[in-house]
Amino acid sequence: MNLTLKKFQVHPFHLVAPSPWPILVSFSVMSIMLTLVFNMHGFMHNNYWVVFSAIVAIMTMALWFRDIISEATYLGDHTLAVRKGLNIGFILFVVSELFFFIAIFWAFFHSAMAPTIELGGVWPPVGIEAIGPSELPLLNTILLLCSGATLTWSHHALLGGNRFNTLLGLILTIALAVTFMICQYMEYSNAPFTISDGIFGSVFYFGTGFHGLHIIIGIIMLGVSLWRIYTYQLTNNHHVGYETSILYYHFVDVVWLFLYIVFYWWGT
């Protein structure tokens, strides 16, 4: 009876095989956290351990994603039911990200709506030259909005089976996102205030810094999607990785709109 059962999979689910990556990722991420805390508490010669844990975490993630790509592309484990599960999982992840950014905005509003007496009772605080909404952030907003447009162009070209337009739209999206990061770098390195300039500096770099980090992650996700489309791993009716990357990128895009309105416009 068991022999007969093993010949057929009479359900659409993917029963994953034992894998070393979950426990390795857990320990390397914990190691990054611990070594960073040691660094911030002044432990000497500790940078090597931070870099080492980061390398282990990144390598483990790469190998884990390689396994998932093999399961999806070459082993055919990602049936419609599995894809549905992956999508729901990713949506839950984006919801957790949403609440992470809500916490940042909470910190901003908490400090900006009732500025303390030490800041002069005003926002932006006295002596702080804030960056206004008609300066570099305006260009950044336009760049991100346009990258959203080119991404939709690429996504629907893929759905319609148009390879050239898919690749062109995606390359343009990545180029616009990289330009955004360059502009953010220029803004940071010319800003008249730093992260240690009271609550204004802290909350400004907290919000824009984490957003920038998320744009970098979005660029990596779109870059992997570009490679997978280029090598025919993703097709017009099977591209979970690209769809989740698109969802993530649009989410980060919308977070920027709120950052622009709140941090650069209302907050100055």
Partner 1 sequence: MFALRRVARPTTVLRAPTLRNTTRNINQKVEEVLKDGPYKINKAGAEAYEAEYVATEKHAEHTSKLWRKISIYICTPVILATCVNTYFVEAAHAEHREHLSHLSEEDFPPEYEFQNVRTKNFFWGDGDKTLFWNPAVNRHIRSD
Q: Name the site residues for partner 1 (rule: CB under 8 A).
A: 1, 4-5, 8-10, 39-40, 42, 46-47, 118-120, 125-128, 134-136, 138-139, 142-143, 145-146, 149-150, 152-153, 155-162, 165, 169, 172, 185-186, 188-199, 236-237
Rounded to the nearest whole angstrom, what is the least distance from the CB of residue 47 to partner 1 in the complex?
Answer: 8
| Neighbouring C-beta atoms of residue 157, cutoff 10 Å | 19
Closer CB to partner 1, residue 54 or residue 136? 136
- For the bound state, the minimum distance from the C-beta of residue 92 to partner 1, rounded and expressed in Å, comes to 25
Please state the closest distance from residue 251 (CB atom) to partner 1, in A.
18
Q: How far is the CB of 23 from partner 1 (least distance, A)?
A: 29
- Nearer to partner 1 by Cβ, of 158 and 219: the residue is 158
Question: Between residues 60 and 249, which has the closer beta carbon with respect to partner 1?
Answer: 249
Q: Which residue lies nearer to partner 1 by CB, 59 or 122?
A: 122
Q: To the nearest whole angstrom, how small is the minimum distance from the Cβ of residue 40 to partner 1?
A: 6
Of residues 69 and 136, the one with the C-beta less far from partner 1: 136
Q: Which of 254, 222, 220 is nearest to 145 (CA)?
A: 254
- Rank residues 13 and 65 by Cβ distance to partner 1 and give the closer one: 13
What are the φ/ψ torsions at residue 209 (nearest 5 degrees)? -65, -45
Q: At its nearest, how many Å lie between partner 1 and the CB of residue 246? A: 12
Name the residue nearer to partner 1 (CB basis): 99 or 164.
164
Min. distance of Cβ 172 from partner 1 in angstroms?
A: 7
DSSP for the chain reads -HHHHHH---S----PPP-SHHHHHHHHHHHHHHHHHHHHTT-TT-HHHHHHHHHHHHHHHHHHHHHHHIIIIIS----HHHHHHHHHHHHHHHHHHHHHHHHHHHHHHHHHSS--GGGTSSSSPTT--PPPTTSHHHHHHHHHHHHHHHHHHHHHHHHTT-HHHHHHHHHHHHHHHHHHHHHHHHHHHH-SS-TTSHHHHHHHHHHHHHHHHHHHHHHHHHHHHHHHHHTT-SBTTB-HHHHHHHHHHHHHHHHHHHHIIIIIIIT-
Q: Kindly report whether the peptide bond that precedes residue 12 is cis, defined as omega within 30 degrees of 0.
A: no
